[in-house]
């Protein structure tokens, strides 16, 4: 197994570079490139740590480090990538800003994982809880990427804020799409149906709960899933046949539109057009 050889889509460093180019006249500098590398290292670290927290055997279609080496080596590998990310930031011209931005994101990521674990234990996730979890665990890192790109080319404060808000909406839409595909099936780097087996109540199921005559009975089925694994199939059918996918797609669409609306503050450029295409891709992607 190649620990760093299964690289995925590299979406986050691409977002950093696109933002830099969007506000830098089509060019980026060495600081932008260094921050793009640092955010990908941070993302890689979170994947190693998440696999330990979730006891995941598969990531991006390959065995995880956790499943091969065990949880302690996997955590240490994640820590290594965190240290490398911090080291890169220290070599830029934006050390103080970068350290504060990365520290904020570290805090958000940890909060999201803790809240997700708490809500999975109680099976009492609300839609507000869900949105907070996916902001912290996914969108906060998208936000960091966009802010790094904008900051390193000295974008104006209004453009910096528009970039940050674009990425927040983009990241939420991205995670909602992943959660939809967990029920529909899709190439998301792990077997489908994992979330519900881990008692994670995501937006498609929340849509069903909202319209159900007895939502607590469904929550109880989720809570009993360890003793009754057949509940996963029942809940999956409820989501597919009970309007859960359509509900989640509607919320996803609203975040895509909000992301695109932020681009009005950007100067016209090929990069702005690509960022719009990137937001729209969340409604059609299969992986």
Encode pLDDT of 97-110 as tens digits. Answer: 999 999 999 999 99
Please count the other Cβ atoms lying within 10 Å of the Cβ belonging to residue 267: 11
The per-residue DSSP string of 222-287 comes to HHTTTT-TTHHHHHHHHHHHTTHHHHHHHHHHHHHHHHHHHGGGSPS-HHHHHHHHHHHHTTT---
CA dist 248 and 244 (Å) reads 6
| Structural domain boundaries enclosing 217 | 11-281
Under the banding of pLDDT at 50, 70 and 90, the label for residue 61 is low
Question: Is 2 part of any domain?
Answer: no
User: Per-residue pLDDT for 69 more than 90?
Assistant: no
CA dist 79 and 74 (Å) reads 9
The per-residue DSSP string of 8-76 comes to TT-HHHHHHHHHHHHHTTT---HHHHHHHHHHHHHHHHHHHHHHHHHT-SEETTEE-HHHHH-HHHHHH
Average pLDDT value for residue range 172-176: 98
CB 206 within 8 A of CB 179: no
User: How many domains does one find in the chain?
Assistant: 1
**What pLDDT, on the 0 to 100 scale, is given for residue 160?**
98
CB 184 within 8 A of CB 237: no
Question: Is 3 part of any domain?
Answer: no
CB 41 within 8 A of CB 33: no
**What pLDDT, on the 0 to 100 scale, is given for residue 175?**
97
Question: Is 120 part of any domain?
Answer: yes
Under the banding of pLDDT at 50, 70 and 90, the label for residue 48 is confident
- Give the tokens for residue 232: 């996963």
- CATH of residue 76's domain is 1.10.600.10
CB 102 within 8 A of CB 86: yes
Under the banding of pLDDT at 50, 70 and 90, the label for residue 156 is very high
Average pLDDT value for residue range 58-83: 80
Question: Is 6 part of any domain?
Answer: no
For tokens 């719009």, name the residue: 276
Question: Is 286 part of any domain?
Answer: no
CA dist 92 and 82 (Å) reads 16
- Which residues have a Cβ under 8 Å from the Cβ of 23 and sit 6 or more positions away? 149, 150, 153, 155, 159, 163, 266, 267
Question: Is 287 part of any domain?
Answer: no
């Amino acid at each position: 197994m190649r620990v760093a050889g299964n690289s995925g889509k590299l979406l986050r460093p691409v977002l950093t570079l696109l933002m830099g180019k969007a506000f830098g006249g089509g060019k980026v500098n060495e600081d932008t490139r260094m921050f793009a590398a640092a955010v990908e290292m941070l993302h890689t670290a979170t994947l190693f740590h998440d696999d330990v927290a979730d006891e995941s055997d598969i990531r991006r279609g390959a065995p995880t480090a956790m499943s091969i080496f065990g949880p302690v080596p996997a955590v240490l590998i994640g820590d290594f990538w965190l240290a490398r990310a911090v080291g890169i930031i220290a070599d830029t011209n934006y050390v103080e800003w970068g350290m504060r931005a990365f520290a904020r994101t570290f805090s958000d990521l940890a909060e999201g994982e803790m809240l997700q674990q708490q809500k999975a234990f109680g099976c009492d996730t609300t839609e507000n809880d869900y949105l907070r979890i996916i902001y912290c665990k996914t969108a906060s890192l998208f936000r960091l990427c966009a802010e790094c790109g904008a900051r390193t080319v000295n974008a104006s404060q209004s453009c910096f804020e528009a970039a940050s808000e674009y990425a927040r909406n983009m990241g939420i839409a991205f995670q909602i799409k992943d959660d939809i595909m967990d029920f529909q099936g899709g190439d998301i780097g792990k077997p489908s149906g994992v979330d519900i087996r881990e008692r994670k109540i995501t937006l498609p199921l929340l849509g069903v709960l909202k319209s159900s005559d007895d939502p607590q009975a469904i929550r109880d089925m989720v809570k009993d899933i360890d003793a009754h694994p057949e509940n996963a199939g029942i809940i999956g059918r409820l989501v597919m046949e009970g309007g859960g996918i359509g509900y989640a797609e509607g919320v996803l669409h609203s975040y895509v539109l909000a992301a695109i609306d932020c681009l009005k503050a950007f100067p016209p450029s090929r990069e702005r057009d690509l960022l719009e295409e990137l937001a729209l891709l969340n409604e059609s992607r299969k992986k």
